[in-house]
Amino acid sequence: MKRAATSAKPRPANAGTRNASPWEWAVAGVGAALVVSAIGYLVYFAETMPPGPPLIVVEPGPIARNGSGYVLEVHIANEGATSAAAVEIEGVLSRGGVALETASATLDYVPRFSNRRAGLYFESDPGTADIALRALGYAEP
């Protein structure tokens, strides 16, 4: 049996490949520019943030009746460049300069530039008294 003769033409070096179109190069360029820009922004942000302690800001939120007492929701913001752990929040209800009740809550972790919520439980209605809120302290995570 004889085999059929095949042509012995040499194949070009770039056979099976094609050149990328200008649109593919443009999309690749835009993607590379976005990646480089994101990395540049992150490096700039990390290098220009001044070091310092956390800046904990505590503000009152809504009051809700809860069983035999009341719960005051508090909004906690860390506006500092450093994270904080074991943040203790205190709320004092007073009337005419006389403290009626004190409540506290501890937040496990408050990352930098973040917001958290907590609740403070009181027997008296916080809506009928003066409320003083503050952060008592934190620990470094």
State which residues form the domain around 23.
19-48
Percent residues over pLDDT 90 in the chain: 70
**How confident is the model at residue 49, as a pLDDT?**
78
For the cut 70, the answer to whether the pLDDT of residue 16 exceeds it is no
130 token code pair = 């003066």
Q: pLDDT per residue over 82-124, tens digit each?
A: 999 999 999 999 999 899 999 999 999 999 899 999 999 999 9
CATH number of the domain at 78, please.
2.60.40.1620
Asked if residue 113 and residue 92 are part of one domain, the reply reads: yes
Total number of domains constituting the chain: 2
Give the pTM.
0.68
**How confident is the model at residue 52, as a pLDDT?**
86
Q: Is residue 14 part of a domain?
A: no
- Tell me how far apart the alpha carbons of residues 139 and 39 are, in angstroms, rounded to a whole number: 31
According to DSSP, the β-strands at 98-110 and 56-66 are unpaired
CA 42 from chain centre, in angstroms, equals 15
User: Residue for token digits 């719960």?
Assistant: 71
